[in-house]
Structure 1
Amino acid sequence: MPRTALRICPLCEATCGLTLTIGDAAVTGARGDREDVFSRGFICPKGAAFGAVDSDPDRLRAPLVRRDGTLQEATWEEAFDAIAAAVPALVGEYGAQTVGVVLGNPNVHTMAGALYPPLLLKALGTRNLFTASTLDQMPKHVSSGLLFGDPFAIPVPDLDRTDFLLLLGANPVESNGSLCTAPDFPGKLKALRARGGTLVVVDPRRTRTARLADRHLAPRPGSDALLLAALAHTLLAEKLAAPGRLEEHTEGLGELAAALGSFTPEAVAPACDLTAAEIRTLARDLAAAPTAAVYGRIGSCTVEYGTLASWLVDVLNILTGNLDRPGGALFPLSATAPAPGPARPGKGFALGRWSSRVSGHPEAKAELPMAALAEEIETPGDGQVRVLIAIAANPVLSAPDGDRLDRALVGLDFMVSVDPYLNETSRHAHVVLPPPPPSQSAHFDFAFNGFAVRNQARYSPAVLPLEEGRMDECEIQARLVLAVSGMHGSAAPDAVDELAIRTTLAKETADPRSRVHGQDPASLAGLLTGGSGPERRLDLMLRLGPYGDQFAGADGADDDSDAGADAGADAAAGAHAEGEAAAHGLSLERLLAHPHGIDLGPLRPRLPGVLKTRSGRIELLPDPIAAELPRMRAALADRPTALVLVGRRHLRSNNSWLHNVPALTGGSNRCTLQIHPEDADRLGLADGGRARVTADGGSLEVPVEVTDAVRTGVVSLPHGWGHDRAGSRLSVASATPGVNVNQLLDGTRLDPLSGTAVLNGFPVELTPLP
């Protein structure tokens, strides 16, 4: 008989609750979980296709090991034997810095991706970490680190209470949001307008989000930072700035007017291709709104001044008094975050603590630019990357100049790929370790709860047992840690989790500020629940977190009410007296007793406790930002190029990893070059014809789609395509491969502060093809 089971969707950042129909040991249907405390039944086409994603026949079912130059199926023991024989020996011969680790976007959609890569990096001792962040969101991490002292202190718009929302470079109606976890983002935008609020969208394309807006501004791509600087200048020059209580928590307010003095609306208008009047009106409306939030995403991050744009988003939220304010932009408090302590100065945030070997790119958040990976593999010398471990990563498609990286991967001494597919990157591996389908994996959103528009906690046990021959992804990554550490065969995978638990408890019990200070770590470890190492670690994080029981009353009965969650939320807000036990606080057992999740309440003001700067205040004009402003000031004199390219999102896609699911291909999800009719006429291009696109890194031949949804002077080509390389096993994707837009880039265009590749707003030339 068919049955139903609950599962949090792992296919985008919205993290919606799903009700799955299970029949014949497979997922046969998916609908929104109406009782989910966060998503309330919302579902998008990706979630509806959960069963098709889960049962994709091209998913690898067993490890692959390269023998005689060919990847062949092997046992798990043979796969880890090969890793254990190769990696420690190569590290011993060439050194730890000859190992590179690449983490792709899907890592943050799994429990394993949150729990094990830090342990892997520690075991390897390498500084060569490359992640999808430098292809996406790193500018926001850097700006938050500089402003607030913590790169993960990212305020999100209070969508349900704001009166005025300014979106830049974001298309959440199709992306479902990013660095802003919000199920039914489209519904929240419609509700904003229905209650009399205002939505302003800044985007060179008339996206589905822009069509919902009260006002749509279509500036030149790449000019976001200039526009934001002019808005801030107007607020200061016209005495509209009103930071209110933020002033006592902020330093640098007095210097900001001089730093932005050159960025008048009249000065930036030509570069933005907007009028000065439009800019001034927007600034005045932002200041006049009862509450307001400014939110910028990938279109404002993956540009030349991405970090400045990300910084200026929060400068505007501060100047208008809307940071850390209901209806403005607030800091979420995840259930697995460290429990808040008293406000005090912190260690601050530093950039460039080390640099890449070849081009000297400074690290940001302990990461190096993904665009530098190929040269680190190709270039001989001490520290040349000889070993690569890629987890859920496909940089051949997602990074600039994939052809160069494709060639470089061939020269590696050894490569491990943890990936369910043999894709454009994993086909180069010496060992491929395939995780099971999501239905066979437990799930908790460690990353996305930190960006959620409402505090909540939800846990999904696996809805189907592991098929014979498969291995849980947490066990895969734990065994990988043991293999590279030289401990393969001498320790069980659970030993990795128990070491993590002991390390955390030893630190907590030794910290005088912790509520478990002075207790016995071994006794506390014995109180943890859960049927696996990952579950025990989750229980530990929940119990030590801001809503957790702090191990108080662990032997007591749970009344199965939500009073404990409320008590924990009050404690997080500072309502509990010091030392008062949250006897019914969060734990894994409480989450398991509430399968639709536990609501922890709306976002609340958290300043100054969230600050970790050396001053203990918001540092509004940090030195790296001040040093970067003159470079942007010089750009005011630049003459716009004739055509620039931007990417675009598709509702039924997420980067490159959903192109192999028939239900998520076709329709509007096509790899076409969108161009405005006026530009098409000028260049002799016709709808349905073909064109050659040329930029720094090379050229592509693409089908043309003529549409007025994109403004003049701009063309748009989506990201994540190019499934035409021999050796992959992606039958659906390879049938309609599209072209890889990142092949137009050679990797030299980077935002200097964050190392993020400039994937939007770069110049291109078009040539009609017969």
Structure 2
Amino acid sequence: MATTVRRTSCNLCEAICGVLVTVDDGRVIDIRGDESDPLSRGHICPKAVALRDLQDDPDRLTTPVRRTPDGWQEIGWAAAYELVVDKLTGIQKEYGRNAVGVYLGNPNVHSLGALTHLPTMMRQLRTRNRFSATSIDQLPHMLASYLLYGHQLMVAVPDIDRTSYLLMLGANPLASNGSMMTAPGFGRRLKELRKRGGKVVVIDPRRTETAAVADEHHFVRPGTDAAFLLALIHQVTEDGHARPAAYVDGFEAVESAVESWTAERAAGITGIGADVIRRIADEFATSDRAAVYGRVGVSTQQFGAVCQWAIQVLNIITGNLDRPGGTMFPRPAVNALLGLGRGHLGVWSSRVRGLPEFGGELPVSTMAEEILTPGDGRIRAMVTVAGNPVLSTPNGRKLDEALDTLDFMVAVDPYINETTRHADVILPPAPPLERDHYDVIFHQLAVRNTARWNDAVLPKPAEARHDWEIFRDLGLAFVRRTSWSRRRIEATARLRMSPRRIVDLGLRIGPYRLSLAKLRKSPGGIDLGPLQPALPGALHHKSKRIDLAQRMILDDLPRLDALATGNDGELLLIGRRHLRNNNSWMHNSARLVKGKPRHQLLMNPEDLAKRDLTDGQLVTVTSTAGSVAVEVAASNDMMPGVVSLPHGFGHNRPGARLTVANQVAGPSANDITDADLTDPVGGTAAVNGVPVTVTAC
């Protein structure tokens, strides 16, 4: 076969970078950035190069396997489907439909086939015990969008290419490439912002890679970001700089609610000086193009909902929402909002703890207890898709134990990992380079409007299955077990439609009236221009108005009064990202895990000295959920009183077949995060700001 160069995209993270893949004799020999891509402009990170590792990984499953007393055995697709459907329907018939639980991992939103076919298949199970990575990640983002703009995925993103003042909290886009903000090549965009005279201010308990290159960085005590944000809102209103648009209601109620949150009060709680808070408020409010952006650090804490609401309020009252250089709403070629419900909160609650659902999903913090607690509605079978919750969700040890008690478990996953080792059947989908791709979700979050379709780089072997084919076949098998109805007809039609056909229809009814044929003629992507003002017409509220005074948020503000000003020697644990990591599922790539160890607990030298600890020493980190042993590393990048442990590690558990990952040192941070520690407004897991003690082993 001749050597060819194919254009595609890296769909391993939210940056959706365009790449050029060189293929020789059916094997990938080179991957590099595509400079013609209008969004990524040639940028890639090390993860893109590792796409070939996913393709060539000898640990990757290529055919279904079944767990037996003698070990894993291969099984045909038809037999695997029959076994799965028989077991799940049998358990639901005996114990009720909620006896089957579902967990969806982060990679599902990076796969076209999962987005087009997984929801329809899951609906056939008719269970309320649905969980996903949303409630350990971006749920407060989506909740704020639902409350203020009428749709859970109507997310305002910084118009960073025109911003002159960018305020970031709990975000490290130099490591994440942007998150809930598709901004590939963020480092270059940051340089361009500063070159045009702009300013970047970062608020974070760690001097991250992004904070290190910002104009200003200020430490903030974990879990107190809400106090800082409320003080900014208070200062803006007190200085007379508030200018909400005519379609905004509830400003007076917000003004009253933040009246007591002065800069001085917030300073005593956050550790950020009152003069700094007043200055930032003034600079932000008087800048002609400003945006405030907060990510995981302000979401995955006990006040995540208040934080994300306050971020939106600050953008709105300063007139920076829906204006160039502020925060704006993308206008993608395929409108993902049409295929995703607006959202709802608290229509039902979890059985054991009574935490509310959001958008049809229960908080993942409740998953283990819903399996372990006896009684009607107990989860007796699980379906996991592209997820490793044993490593990525709170109190992973408890979940590990819970999964071992199930009557049946099926996983759609290419690996036998720390979670799927509990499965009775594993159905492996084809890898990224063997499937077509269109980024339905991340064009919805992009800092520039573009569109790109990519045909598969490599042919799929005849015996392999795409993820959408797995969901189609399972979904149709479930449909055949139900009585004939209009719902059954609709589900059958949806499942039989290919992703290509669905994308083509979405393009044709979209705002640009494109088609799949047109996109395929431009494999490098089509530039559809910068973000454009869209309000109030684009709002999903019937009134076409924004109500700032959301009662569930305002009613939660008194809980902030309990924020402590000191910690009596207690340390607070936060997580951290790394450019070469991708949560828990890219540690089996030797090229990504090589280099200096990055699993250590980072700790300020002052905190080490107070505890008679030394750099490199093995220490025990203990919380209410348990303890882990890990090497400690002295770092002046840490705020005193704060320690940082990356998530996603914790491999080398019995039965997990991950040759490279099992050699990677480091415990799972989620073995010491407490499943009982949540934000009560939406149920988001509070995995940042976890109280811990650190002692010598």
Answering whether residue 380 of structure 2 is matched by residue 386 of structure 1, we say: yes
Answering whether residue 500 of structure 2 is matched by residue 535 of structure 1, we say: yes
In structure 2, relative to structure 1, the CA distance for the partners of 1:348 and 1:83 (3 Å cut) is closer
Distance 1:254 1:389 in 2: 47
For the 8 Å contact 2:388–2:419, the answer to whether it is kept is yes
Distance 1:224 1:97 in 2: 37
Post-superposition shift, 1:500?
Answer: 2.0
Post-superposition shift, 1:118?
Answer: 1.5
Determine which of 270, 273, 283 is the counterpart of 1:272: 270
Answering whether residue 134 of structure 2 is matched by residue 136 of structure 1, we say: no
- Aligned pairs (5 A) from 1:8-27: 8-27=9-28
Question: Which position in structure 2 is the counterpart of 1:372?
Answer: 366
Identity %: 46
Of 635-644 and 29-38, the range deviating more from structure 2: 635-644
Distance 2:138 2:337 in 1: 25
SS of the equivalent of 2:358 reads coil
Post-superposition shift, 1:348?
Answer: 7.7
Question: Which position in structure 1 is the counterpart of 2:639?
Answer: 711
Question: Which position in structure 2 is the counterpart of 1:631?
Answer: 559
Question: Which position in structure 2 is the counterpart of 1:351?
Answer: 345
- Aligned pairs (5 A) from 1:163-182: 163-182=164-183
In structure 2, relative to structure 1, the CA distance for the partners of 1:241 and 1:641 (3 Å cut) is farther
Post-superposition shift, 1:611?
Answer: 1.6
Post-superposition shift, 1:422?
Answer: 0.4
In structure 2, relative to structure 1, the CA distance for the partners of 1:144 and 1:640 (3 Å cut) is farther
Structure 1 stretches lacking a partner, 5+ long: 341-346, 503-531, 549-585
Question: Which position in structure 2 is the counterpart of 1:573?
Answer: none
- For 2:682, give the aligned amino acid: S
1:243-262 deviation digits (Å, cap 9, x = unpaired)? 3xx2x111101111111112
1:326-355 deviation digits (Å, cap 9, x = unpaired)? 000001122211799xxxxxx986421100
In structure 2, relative to structure 1, the CA distance for the partners of 1:497 and 1:5 (3 Å cut) is farther
Question: Which position in structure 2 is the counterpart of 1:289?
Answer: 287
Distance 1:200 1:483 in 2: 53
Determine which of 423, 442, 454 is the counterpart of 1:460: 454
Question: Which position in structure 2 is the counterpart of 1:659?
Answer: 587
In structure 2, relative to structure 1, the CA distance for the partners of 1:82 and 1:498 (3 Å cut) is closer
- For 1:541, give the aligned amino acid: G
Answering whether residue 321 of structure 2 is matched by residue 327 of structure 1, we say: no
In structure 2, relative to structure 1, the CA distance for the partners of 1:717 and 1:241 (3 Å cut) is same
In structure 2, relative to structure 1, the CA distance for the partners of 1:30 and 1:143 (3 Å cut) is same
Question: Which position in structure 2 is the counterpart of 1:360?
Answer: 354
Distance 1:477 1:203 in 2: 41
Cα root mean square deviation, aligned = 2.0
Post-superposition shift, 1:121?
Answer: 2.5
- Aligned pairs (5 A) from 1:596-635: 596-613=524-541, 615-635=543-563
For the 8 Å contact 1:88–1:486, the answer to whether it is kept is no
Question: Which position in structure 2 is the counterpart of 1:744?
Answer: 672
For the 8 Å contact 1:3–1:23, the answer to whether it is kept is yes
Answering whether residue 253 of structure 2 is matched by residue 255 of structure 1, we say: yes
Answering whether residue 435 of structure 2 is matched by residue 437 of structure 1, we say: no
Distance 2:262 2:59 in 1: 55
Of 432-441 and 81-90, the range deviating more from structure 2: 81-90
Post-superposition shift, 1:498?
Answer: 6.4
Post-superposition shift, 1:29?
Answer: 1.1
Determine which of 516, 522, 525 is the counterpart of 1:588: 516
Answering whether residue 472 of structure 2 is matched by residue 478 of structure 1, we say: yes
Distance 2:318 2:280 in 1: 13
Answering whether residue 232 of structure 2 is matched by residue 234 of structure 1, we say: no
Question: Which position in structure 2 is the counterpart of 1:107?
Answer: 108
For the 8 Å contact 2:313–2:548, the answer to whether it is kept is yes
Answering whether residue 389 of structure 2 is matched by residue 395 of structure 1, we say: yes
In structure 2, relative to structure 1, the CA distance for the partners of 1:619 and 1:685 (3 Å cut) is same
- For 1:618, give the aligned amino acid: I
Q: TM-score, normalised by structure 2?
A: 0.96
Distance 1:351 1:588 in 2: 36
For the 8 Å contact 1:721–1:737, the answer to whether it is kept is yes
For the 8 Å contact 2:137–2:300, the answer to whether it is kept is yes
SS of the equivalent of 1:84 reads helix
Question: Which position in structure 1 is the counterpart of 2:74?
Answer: 73
Of 103-112 and 603-612, the range deviating more from structure 2: 603-612
Post-superposition shift, 1:746?
Answer: 2.9
In structure 2, relative to structure 1, the CA distance for the partners of 1:286 and 1:444 (3 Å cut) is same
Structure 2 stretches lacking a partner, 5+ long: none
Post-superposition shift, 1:468?
Answer: 4.1
Post-superposition shift, 1:590?
Answer: 0.9
1:212-247 deviation digits (Å, cap 9, x = unpaired)? 11111111111111100000000011112123xx2x
Question: Which position in structure 2 is the counterpart of 1:343?
Answer: none
For the 8 Å contact 1:645–1:717, the answer to whether it is kept is yes
For the 8 Å contact 1:436–1:471, the answer to whether it is kept is yes
For the 8 Å contact 2:336–2:441, the answer to whether it is kept is no
SS of the equivalent of 2:14 reads coil
Post-superposition shift, 1:54?
Answer: 2.2
- For 2:76, give the aligned amino acid: T
- For 1:674, give the aligned amino acid: L
In structure 2, relative to structure 1, the CA distance for the partners of 1:501 and 1:75 (3 Å cut) is closer
Distance 1:121 1:283 in 2: 46
In structure 2, relative to structure 1, the CA distance for the partners of 1:61 and 1:121 (3 Å cut) is closer
- Aligned pairs (5 A) from 1:29-108: 29-68=30-69, 70-108=71-109
- For 2:549, give the aligned amino acid: L
Q: How many residues align structurally?
A: 690
Determine which of 615, 620, 623 is the counterpart of 1:687: 615
Of 275-284 and 405-414, the range deviating more from structure 2: 405-414
Answering whether residue 690 of structure 2 is matched by residue 754 of structure 1, we say: no
Question: Which position in structure 1 is the counterpart of 2:315?
Answer: 317
Question: Which position in structure 2 is the counterpart of 1:511?
Answer: none
Distance 1:634 1:143 in 2: 23
Question: Which position in structure 2 is the counterpart of 1:577?
Answer: none
Of 632-641 and 654-663, the range deviating more from structure 2: 632-641
For the 8 Å contact 1:263–1:633, the answer to whether it is kept is no
